Amino acid sequence: MSQSGKNNFNFEELLEESVKTHGHLCPGQVLGVRMSMLGLRKVGINDPKGKDRKSLIVFVEMDRCATDAVQSVTGCSLGHRTMKFMDYGKMAAAYLNLKTNNAVRVVAREDSRDKAKNYFPEIEDKYKAQLEAYKIMSDEELFDVMNVKVEINPEDMPGKPLKRVKCDKCGEYVQDMRDISVNDKVYCKACVHGAYYIFRE
């Protein structure tokens, strides 16, 4: 494939690996792999799972199929604190090279959906047409790329927690400076803002 020659990555191999992780092949997998190949190349990361693994942080803006592909290609994850989830609901991700502070945000173009139909008009299923077209469309047709600046707080960096405190209300421990101080007391976010869960009898 022509796109695979643009950097040191092999598109077909990366897609296959991503599908194993995600569980099935879909347009989102193709976009996530292509998006990551482009983002990594733009910030000068050639070996994200090897010698460059401590130089990369990725910000994903969607909790959809493409995020699994981004993780598969980059090796970044929430557990390693090298993937940050920004709940924007956008098919986009930003790639930050920590050594150079060079960062780009890659956004999937909305008009690529319609262009995909032109590549494979004989395929009636639009998702199948997108899947095949996204494999061969140019980066310029698929994505908008913008140079960005991303500031990382010390408490958001990989490594040991900078702080660990006990919530004065629920007694649970909070780390990574996610605690909130109110009237000289320390609380967790759930006790201050409400939790996503409720206790059952």
Tokens of 81: 């604190």
The rounded distance, in Å, linking the Cα atoms of 87 and 155 is 19
Q: Is the pLDDT of residue 1 over 50?
A: no
Largest CA distance in the chain: 67
| Percentage of the chain modeled with pLDDT above 70 | 96
3-state secondary structure of 114: helix
Which residues are CB-neighbours of 17 under 8 A, at least 6 positions away? 72, 73
Grade residue 201 by pLDDT with cuts at 50, 70 and 90: confident
Vertex 72 angle, CA 133 and 85, to 5°: 100
User: CATH code for 2-155?
Assistant: 3.30.1330.130
H helices of 44-195, in order, are 65-74, 112-119, 126-136, 139-142, 189-193
3-state secondary structure of 107: strand
Return the domain boundaries, the chain: 2-155, 160-193
Grade residue 9 by pLDDT with cuts at 50, 70 and 90: confident
* Mean pLDDT, range 138-144, rounded to an integer: 96
pLDDT for the residue numbered 8: 65
Q: What is the pTM of this model?
A: 0.90
pLDDT for the residue numbered 199: 87
160-193: CATH, from 3.30.60, 3.40.50, 1.20.1630, 2.60.120: 3.30.60
